[in-house]
Amino acid sequence: MSSLNLDDFTDLIERPDGGVRRDAEARRERQIVPPGSLGRLDDLGEWLAAAQSAVPVRPIERPRVVLFAGDHGVAELGVSARPAGGAGQLVREVLEGGRPVSVLARRLGVPVRIVDMALDCDPESLPEDVVRHRVRRGSGRIDIEDALTLEEAEAAFRAGVAVADEEADSGTDLVVLGDVSVGGTTAAGVLVAALCGVDASVVTGRGGLAIDDLAWMRKCAAIRDALRRARPVLGDQLQLLAAVGGADLAAMTGFLLQSAVRKLPVVLDGVVTAACALVGQRIAFRAPDWWLAAHDSGEPGQAKALDRMALEPLLTQGVTVGEGAGGLLALPLVQAAAALAAELPEKPKESEEPESPEASGASGVPTEQ
């Protein structure tokens, strides 16, 4: 029996400050560029002001990419274009600077933090600060067995909470959240299908490397089989994560909820983070007010999850690589919104009454020169 009471998050999470948002809207009305002329940048600036409880909004100066990593046993079925157990190699490539997220983060000057929750590799092959939260080596094959024990799911969830606290305490002012996994999109598809009440085919996408038709059918069958195991535990979100999620997904869910508690805005990357956010919404309905959807990856499961949470992606680039790359693409847009909201000057105030000709000493009659 878990000692973790997820209902506490409902009481702990408040919405971003509505009064501050109204103040931000009023300030926007006074600026020299007409309201609405900056499109979604206006909404973003006002959302940030409410999240920060500050008018004018403060610049985003200490963003961080946080990636939760894990291998999923379901990858053994050939549902991914990557080999089962291959997430550890992806993590090493991120650390060495050779992945898309590494290039973008370097260019934008954003630090990247990787948290190993269930990589199927020797922990000694990775830095200690990466592996210190690991719960187990690989998550179970969700079509026939639980991904985690309930105790492991709780440990992973608490690890995500701890990472959120570490980021908030260190001064991080916005997080781009992503995953580094093999088989993770299959687990994400199960969560989305279960929580949205749809069939496997509705949420099954092609993954990061665009699997072929045969692999897609295997993935669809795996999600269908895992769905049968998910439905009996839909009323308990921790049991759901244990049954068909994985240590990385459980940790991301804990991270998202605790970030909302700490009033730390989070940018969601792809389908895996969207699935975890959907679980988080089921736990605490106000939590999505603290999250932004970075982009539309084209994955049907992501679209279904974001629609259920009423989150509209900022960009449509079709980036399916994961690892926070799509989330980082949206970061300059968020920073631009903050800068415009804070730095655009206000319109000059007009005098209440125009000066009369008599007051200025003019008679109004032309005089000879």
pLDDT in tens, 94-114: 999 999 999 999 999 999 999
How many structural domains is the chain composed of? 2
- Specify the pLDDT at position 350: 67
- Specify the pLDDT at position 81: 84
Quote the longest CA-to-CA distance of the chain.
102
- What are the tokens at 142? 């969700």
| Residue 366 maps to a domain | no
* 40 and 82 in a common domain: no
Domain, as residue range, for 235: 60-343
Looking at the predicted structure, is the pLDDT value of residue 215 above 80? yes
- What are the tokens at 111? 């630090």
| Residue 363 maps to a domain | no
Separation in Å, CA 341 to CA 21, 32, 47, 62, 264: 12, 11, 11, 18, 19
pLDDT in tens, 229-262: 999 999 999 999 999 999 999 999 999 999 999 9
CA–CA–CA angle 159, 230, 289 (5° rounding): 55
> Mean pLDDT in the chain?
92
Q: Which residues pair with 31 in a beta bridge?
A: 346
| Residue 357 maps to a domain | no
* 184 and 91 in a common domain: yes
- Specify the pLDDT at position 168: 98
* 124 and 178 in a common domain: yes
DSSP 8-state class, residue 135: -
* 219 and 185 in a common domain: yes
Would you say 360 and 76 are in contact if contact means Cβ atoms under 8 Å apart?
Answer: no
* 68 and 42 in a common domain: no
DSSP 8-state class, residue 353: S
- What are the tokens at 51? 């999240």
**358: pLDDT confidence band, cut at 50, 70 and 90?**
low
pLDDT in tens, 101-155: 999 999 999 999 999 999 999 999 999 999 999 999 999 999 999 999 999 999 9
* 111 and 234 in a common domain: yes
* 297 and 223 in a common domain: yes
What CATH number does the domain containing 97 carry? 3.40.50.10210
- Specify the pLDDT at position 197: 95
* 144 and 188 in a common domain: yes
* 42 and 181 in a common domain: no
Would you say 315 and 331 are in contact if contact means Cβ atoms under 8 Å apart?
Answer: no
| Residue 368 maps to a domain | no
Please state which of the ranges 80-89, 157-166, 303-312 shows the lowest mean pLDDT: 80-89
Q: Span 279-288, mean pLDDT?
A: 97
Active site residue 323: yes
- How far is it, in rounded angstroms, from Cα 362 to Cα 364? 6
H or E segment to which residue 266 belongs:
strand 266-268
**353: pLDDT confidence band, cut at 50, 70 and 90?**
very low
pLDDT in tens, 169-208: 999 999 999 999 999 999 999 999 999 999 999 999 877 6
- By C-alpha distance, which of 47, 45, 40, 44 is closest to 16? 47
- What are the tokens at 246? 């994985």
Buried b (16+ CB within 10 A) or exposed e, 280-303: bbbbbeebbbbbbbbbbbbbbbbb
| Residue 50 maps to a domain | yes
* 117 and 87 in a common domain: yes
* 145 and 54 in a common domain: no
* 157 and 218 in a common domain: yes
Tokens 């190699």 locate to 89
| Residue 352 maps to a domain | no
| Residue 359 maps to a domain | no
| Catalytic choice (46, 152, 167, 323) | 323
Looking at the predicted structure, is the pLDDT value of residue 354 above 80? no
Buried b (16+ CB within 10 A) or exposed e, 123-160: eeebeeebbebbbbbbbbbbbeebbbebebbbbbbbbb
- What are the tokens at 333? 């847009």
Percent share of the chain, pLDDT over 90: 84
| Residue 339 maps to a domain | yes
